[in-house]
Amino acid sequence: MEHFARRLNRGVAKPVRLALGASLGNPRERAFLLGYLGALRKAARMRRGFEKEGLHVPPHLIASVASTCNLFCAGCYARANSTVGESTCAAQLSDADWARIFDEAKELGVTFILIAGGEPFTRKGVLEAAADTPEILFPVFTNGTMFDAAYLDLFDARRNLVPMLSLEGGEEETDRRRGAGVYKKLSAAMERLKERGILYGVSVTVTKENLRRVTEPAFAGALRERGCRVVLYVEYVPVADAGAVLALDDAGRKELLCRVDALRLKRRGLIFIAFPGDEDAMGGCLAAGRGFFHISARGDAEPCPFSPFSDTSLKNASLREALFSPLFEKLRRGGFLEGDHAGGCALYPREAEIRALAGEENIPV
């Protein structure tokens, strides 16, 4: 595990160094990234120390901070597994809960916390708590429709918050999945972020239908011209049998990685990440605390967003205690995170087995 931890630490620093290279001409962004590299080194030393004590701390977390969203996107996994919806609001963690979790993460040496939802912009207090933890970088995954002046000011002032705008390709593809007019709102948000010199990225859900379109050099080049600096390609995970035809198969995943590698050579000034494809370099799935785990809006420590099962709640447990989750241990030792898998996720197709491990086999979906 110690050797694996060293590989993780190297992988964490690489995108930050790439971002530093892309920040030429943006003094504020460059100053923040230089300072953050120092925080990364300190956090890596902390994690190495914990490793020697028998505690493996993943450098990343995924935090779904909101159980509401203002959009109804087709194929949304969060609505499909009932983690997003008006009826779940009362159970979600408070702003103070999240502030405590972010502080505990800092003390353990966590360096990236990916903020997701629902729609994170419905929880401004949580984003403000994240902004108050500059030792951690928070990519904030948003549908981009709520970027008002107050949020622009927040992201401008606190550079550890990095907006990641979700789109599906061009206007037609994005509006088809996310709703009419969404692409125009995204475009307006990109324009405002570029004007402010705020580092931002886009998250693209990749299916068999849009794979080649969204990995064309022209598509990436257009994003670069609009101020984008990070492109994250996320393989589509079906939430119902009907959507399985859109999921990438082995050939599709190989093609995606080849095309992303080609973009890395052709499109300087952009950082390209494929998920979970880039996990291959780490020898398999990084979920269940191996490289990250997921915290739901109600505080459940889960293997990943696509495997929403838990035996530990952060409402009454610390982040450190969650790392010793029996479920995570069973998944890491039981071979669940290794080998071939379909649909871009190692855990999603094994729901029944993971439910049983978590003691949720009798709980209705």
Give tens-digit pLDDT for 4-54. 555 556 666 778 887 877 777 788 888 999 999 999 999 999 999 999 999
Count of the separate structural domains present in the chain? 1
Q: Which two tokens stand for residue 81?
A: 């597994």
- pLDDT for res 360: 65
Does residue 66 surpass a pLDDT of 60?
yes
Edge to edge, what strands does the sheet with 230-235 contain? 271-275, 230-235, 201-206, 161-167, 138-142, 112-116, 60-64, 294-295, 301-302
Per the document, the length of the chain is 365
Pairing state between β 294-295 and 301-302: antiparallel
Q: What is the 8-class DSSP label of residue 344? A: T
Q: Alpha-carbon distance 90 to 65, whole Å?
A: 13
Give tens-digit pLDDT for 171-225. 999 999 899 999 999 999 999 999 999 999 999 999 999 999 999 999 999 999 9
AA identity, residue 226 = R
Is 280 within the bounds of a domain? no
Is 274 within the bounds of a domain? no
- Tell me the mean pLDDT in the region 81-108: 84
Q: Alpha-carbon distance 69 to 80, whole Å?
A: 13
- pLDDT for res 344: 55
- Mean pLDDT for the chain? 87
Omega before 349 within 30 of 0, i.e. cis: no
The residue with greater pLDDT, 105 or 234, is: 105
Q: What is the 8-class DSSP label of residue 294? A: E
CATH number of the domain residue 110 falls in: 3.20.20
Dihedral (Cα; 280, 281, 284, 285), 10-degree rounding: -90
Is 220 within the bounds of a domain? no
Is 195 within the bounds of a domain? no
Give tens-digit pLDDT for 242-291. 567 888 888 998 999 999 999 999 887 899 998 876 665 555 788 889 99
3-class DSSP assignment, residue 273: strand
Q: Which residue has the tokens 């064309």?
A: 216
Is 84 within the bounds of a domain? yes
Is 209 within the bounds of a domain? no
Tell me which residue range forms the domain holding 56. Answer: 2-163+171-185+285-357
Q: Which residues of 22-55 are buried (b: 16+ CB within 10 A; e: fewer)?
A: bbeebeebbebbeebeebbeebbebbeebbeeee
- pLDDT for res 23: 77
Is 73 within the bounds of a domain? yes
* pLDDT band (50, 70, 90) for residue 325: very high
Measuring CA to CA, which residue among 140, 188, 184, 192 is closest to residue 165? 140
Is 20 within the bounds of a domain? yes
Cβ proximity of 12 and 44 under 8 Å? yes
What distances in angstroms separate CA 168 from CA 70, 74, 186, one per listed residue? 17, 11, 11
* pLDDT band (50, 70, 90) for residue 365: very low
Cβ proximity of 163 and 184 under 8 Å? no
- Tell me the mean pLDDT in the region 313-337: 92
